[in-house]
Amino acid sequence: MKRLIEKKARRQRRKLHIRKTVKGTLERPRLSVFKSNRHIYVQVIDDKSGTTILSASTQSGDGKGLRPRVEDGEKLGKSLGDAMKKKKITEAVFDRNGSLYHGVVKAVADGIRSAGIRF
């Protein structure tokens, strides 16, 4: 149990360290990725007004039925990237939300990049 608490504390510390520097605006919003054991959640956030512009997850929309795997993460990222292009968002800042930039989180980023979004 103590090991689980330490693991969560380390992730929280990384998350706060990242959020000190990563800020999203309307022209260049923040892409926040959260991965659980069952689902992946991605949000496009404007930190100036504190609103979510777009979101995608494996629970609803185009991503429904996908699992938190590398292949499905790339599909989810591609669909979110296409939605961002429709909203005329071409640049963003990537917030890995304390997770390591590896596996599913990297696949989501690659999927968004393949849709033409830069970060």
pLDDT at 93: 96
The proportion of the chain whose per-residue pLDDT surpasses 70, expressed as a percent, equals 100
- Predicted pLDDT at 19: 86
Distance from C-alpha of 50 to C-alpha of 87, rounded to nearest angstrom = 18
Higher-confidence residue of 61 and 53: namely 53
- Rounded CA separation 71/69 (Å): 6
| Residue ranges covered by each domain of the chain | 2-114
Beta bridge partners of 44: 31, 54
Which CATH code, of 3.40.1010.20, 3.30.420.100, 3.40.640.10, 3.90.1300.10, is assigned to 2-114? 3.30.420.100
Q: What is the pTM of this model?
A: 0.87
